Copies of this chain bind each other. A is one copy, B any other.
Amino acid sequence: MGTPVSEKAVTASEKNVAASEKAVTTGPIEGSVKHYLQVDGLRVPQRRVNLTNGEHLDLYDTSGPYTDAAAVIDVERGLSATRDEWRRPEPIDGVATQLAWARAGVVTPEMTYIAAREGVDVELVRSEVAAGRAVIPVNHRHPESEPMIIGKAFAVKVNANIGNSAVTSSIAEEVEKMVWATRWGADTIMDLSTGKDIHATREWIMRNSPVPVGTVPIYQALEKVNGDPTALTWEIYRDTVIEQAEQGVDYMTVHAGVLLRYVPLTAKRVTGIVSRGGSIMAAWCLAHHTESFLYTHFDDLCEILARYDITFSLGDGLRPGSIADANDEAQFAELRTLGELTTRAKSYGVQVMIEGPGHVPMHKIVENVQLEEQWCEEAPFYTLGPLATDIAPAYDHITSAIGAAMIAQAGTAMLCYVTPKEHLGLPNRDDVKVGVITYKIAAHAADLAKCHPRAQERDDALSRARFEFRWTDQFNLALDPDTAREYHDETMPAEPAKTAHFCSMCGPKFCSMRISADVRAYAEENDLVTAEDIDRKIAEEMAAKSEEFVAAGNHVYLPISEANPAQ
């Protein structure tokens, strides 16, 4: 929280600080302030939107200290190692994972924090983790993180992928990608970096990330063998996992379900294997004519992950890459194997989630969730979209948001975002924001559909603001206040328009919202609430005004009972 003095004290170079401060986005989201719940000595962040009518709404907040106007950000030092100060329970039979504690009935500080954050009872958190239906991805070595939960009983989460470019120029630039994604609502990020500075880049991200960070260790392992999949070995892979574990990676995608025997099942597909990890392992299996080392060494891997409480994200290396390949034999064969691996991982006390497709037409979406739950002990499902059609490159954030909303409604716990650049190129800053916002929409639509207890509060608050022409509140309650305001101001930029009882769609002369406010006033004046009140009122008025009606211009009045027998 620092002062100007301490801010200077921690800085190695004035020049670097200037660059950092410029590159990392800080400060509250427009119209919001950081607010902290105090729970059992824990400080749980929320985004508070103060409304112009004197009310406020507190929202789930993923953005970390970067949106706290009082926080001093120094990316070279990193965030505070807050979780190191928390009391960690004793290991259960030598295992110190959230799963082991939950099963033993132990409530961890992380569970308490999450319950406050989600607005649910802590027992729900503990029991869902114990059942393996939810995971809390928190590597002991990532004490900077603000704990969160991934599970179908909780708000649907969103992951954003980031990755460094070939030439990294500064810590701040790398950190900014994470900061930018979490500012708009990413609940976790995956660092998919490739290239030379992969270790240093990840270190910067870990030390500055308030959200769990996932990786795909096979990517870095592949770099170590100069990009030749056939040169990979278990030892190289294992050392890479340990290297990343030590840095604090919270969850790891492992494509251990790509078995040799499944690979040729993809040969007749329209789009073969489209997962990078899946095709690396397929190439390895084919070249060596032997089973994947990820599969044969899976128990060794479980022992490593258990030590850090890293969560498995069992990768779907054979996921479909097109509508044509959805729900095929290769995909579901791998899913069955992921179920087997889930059981094995949990026997080590390791938390598990399962990755899912990809590209799936709407009528085949629910089956994915059903089989995943059936075969994988209801481990949290974590899907990439899925895209509901293949015909709209440049709009795949939208094609996939349709699938994502539906699969989340069916029970998927976390959605991996897709940006407009999917299939076409590397996303830029704007693409990342659009991808995150689009996926927050899908996740929230699913929360509403699942009747999540706190989901509709925000819709109602925004709708009331809309109906009452509180334009500023409408903007500030939006997922993206900046763009909402910008679009409004394109046609009505003046400040008085923010309280005007119309917008440029209909203009001032006629506005349906205004008229319906008149309806409300009428109903209140006349004490009309139920259909019976209305019938009574109409009957009274008909009697009193029937002559007036006739005189008013030959309006034939049909008594309602005759005109509309269905009523």
Contact = CB atoms under 8 A, between A and B. Distances in A.
Task: List the number of copies, as a whole number.
Answer: 2
A557 B399 contact: no
A332 B544 CA distance: 30
Contact of A337 (B523, B534, B538, B564): B564
A523 B264 contact: yes
A500 interface: no
B515 A233 contact: no
Contacts of A391: 441, 444, 458-459, 462, 477-479
A339 B222 CA distance: 64
A240 interface: no
B503 A425 contact: yes
Given A390-B459, A394-B487, A406 B362 contact: yes
B321 A484 contact: no
Interface in A290-317: 290-291, 293, 295-297
A545 B445 contact: no
Interface string A491-512: 1100000000001111101101
Given A402-B405, A567-B333, A395 B425 contact: no
Given A272-B517, A399-B441, A509-B227, A291 B560 contact: yes
Interface stretch (A2-10, A169-177, A277-285): A277-285
A529 B463 contact: no
A355 to B, nearest CB: 15
A555 to B, nearest CB: 6
Interface string A171-196: 00000000000000000000000100
Nearest to A282: B519
The 3 closest A-B pairs by CB, nearest first: A272-B516, A267-B523, A322-B463
Interface string A132-165: 0000000000000000000000000000000000
A541 interface: yes
A232 to B, nearest CB: 11
21 contacts: A227-B510, A229-B515, A268-B523, A270-B460, A276-B506, A290-B557, A323-B459, A329-B531, A340-B565, A363-B450, A388-B405, A389-B441, A390-B463, A391-B477, A392-B440, A393-B484, A394-B478, A399-B445, A402-B441, A425-B490, A426-B504
Contact of A420 (B339, B487, B526): B487
